[in-house]
Every structure is written in C-alpha cells, then in structure tokens.
C-alpha cells in the first residue's frame, strides 16, 4: 500500500537465532497522539482534532476501498503518530489489521477495549468498526476521558455524560459527529470514512 499516512516498509527479515521477525520502515520523526495528549495536559483543542480526524478519514478511506477492504481494527491514540516534519498523521502498527471480504464472518476478535466496537467481539468487522474507533479516539482527545477506563458503558449516553457535558468547549456539531460515530448499532454510524 502506498499512502502518505502509511509508513513505507523498506525491508523485512527473520532472525533465526532469536526467533523474531523484523520490519524496516520509514522513520517517523514525531510522537504518538497519546504522548502528545499527555504533554498538552490531557485535552486537545477541537481545531487540531478536526485536522487530525480528516487525515485519519483519508487513510481509512484508502484502506477500506482496497479489494478486499483492509480493516485496521486497533485505531487509538497510541497507534497514530504526528510526523513533526510534515504535521501529517501516520497510521502505524498494522499488526492486527486484516483484509476482510464483505461477507466474511468470524474474524478473530482483537482490539483495544474501549476503542473496539461491540461487533468486533462477535467477529464481525467492517469499515464502520474503524469509524467507531475513530469516534472513540476523538472523544478521548477532546474530553481527556479514556474509553479504556469504562470500556463497556462509556458511550451509553443515557447513563454517561456526552462530550459537551465533560468539555463545554466542544461544539454541538462535533458532539453530534462523535455520538454518531460511536453508535452501538453499526448501521447507525457513518456509512464510510468519506462520509465521516
């Protein structure tokens, strides 16, 4: 795959003596969003999160439109880096990403609790699964509330505060975007990264 938000892989090899696989990838001069968030005091401003989200949607659109679609399955702040030179978001750690046929069921349930959508644990993944994780990431960056702290209930907004109740600086439109992205029912989420 070739995309400006996916680091180029130059080579790979297996070390027989240690039993390890290695990838030689393009160096990204920067840090991940989790580190960036900690350095910013826990909350990132909406303009920055919006800029990052648009770049993430571009790369998700690219991988989701492959034949068959590639579903990343572990989108979270720690797997997104900002290249300090270009200010571009880089999607790293494709370790659990999988090509998934549109009718394929029973994909291994692997992901990060709190960022992983409900359908992932039933082995049903699709592009909407990555969009849920993007919504969870945006929620975390904008509110400072880590979805991993309350992974099964955090996006039940009948019982838990909506984003603007946590951070009133979030716009009403951004709250709507996040709430739609983390809908329990995948059919109620955005139909694609391009639509997002």
Give the span between the Cα atoms of 146 and 174, in whole angstroms: 18
29 annotated active-site: no
Q: Which of 32, 74, 83, 130 is catalytic?
A: 74
For residues 31 and 81, the answer to whether their CB atoms sit within 8 Å is yes
From 66, 70, 75, select the one nearest 93 (Cα to Cα). Answer: 75
User: What's the chain look like in SS3?
Assistant: CCCCCCCCEEEEEEECCCCEEEEEECCCCEEEHHHHHHHCCCCCCHHHHHHHHHHHHHHHHHHHCCCCCEECCCCCHHHEEEECCCCCEEECCCCCCEECCCCCCCCCCCCCCCCCCHHHHHCCCCHHHHHHHHHHHHHHHHHCCCHHHCCCCCCCCCCCCCHHHHCCCCCHHHHHHHHHHCCCCHHHCCCCCCCC
Q: Which residues are catalytic?
A: 74
């Amino acid at each position: 795959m070739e995309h400006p938000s996916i680091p180029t892989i130059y080579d790979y090899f297996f070390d027989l003596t240690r039993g390890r696989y290695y990838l030689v990838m393009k160096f990204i001069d920067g840090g991940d969003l989790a580190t960036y968030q900690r350095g910013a005091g826990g909350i990132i401003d909406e303009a920055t999160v919006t800029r990052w989200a648009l770049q993430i949607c571009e790369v998700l659109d690219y991988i989701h439109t492959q034949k068959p679609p590639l579903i990343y399955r572990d989108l979270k702040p720690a797997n997104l880096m900002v290249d300090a030179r270009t200010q571009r978001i880089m999607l790293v750690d494709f370790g659990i990403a999988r090509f998934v046929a549109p009718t394929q069921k029973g994909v291994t349930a692997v992901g990060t609790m709190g960022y992983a959508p409900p359908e992932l644990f039933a082995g049903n993944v699709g592009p909407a699964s990555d969009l849920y994780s993007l919504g969870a990431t945006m929620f975390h960056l904008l509110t400072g509330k880590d979805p991993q702290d309350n992974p099964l209930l955090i996006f039940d907004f009948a019982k838990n505060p909506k984003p603007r109740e946590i951070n009133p600086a979030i716009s009403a439109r951004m709250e709507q975007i996040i709430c739609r992205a983390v809908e329990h029912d995948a059919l109620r989420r955005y139909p694609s990264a391009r639509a997002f």
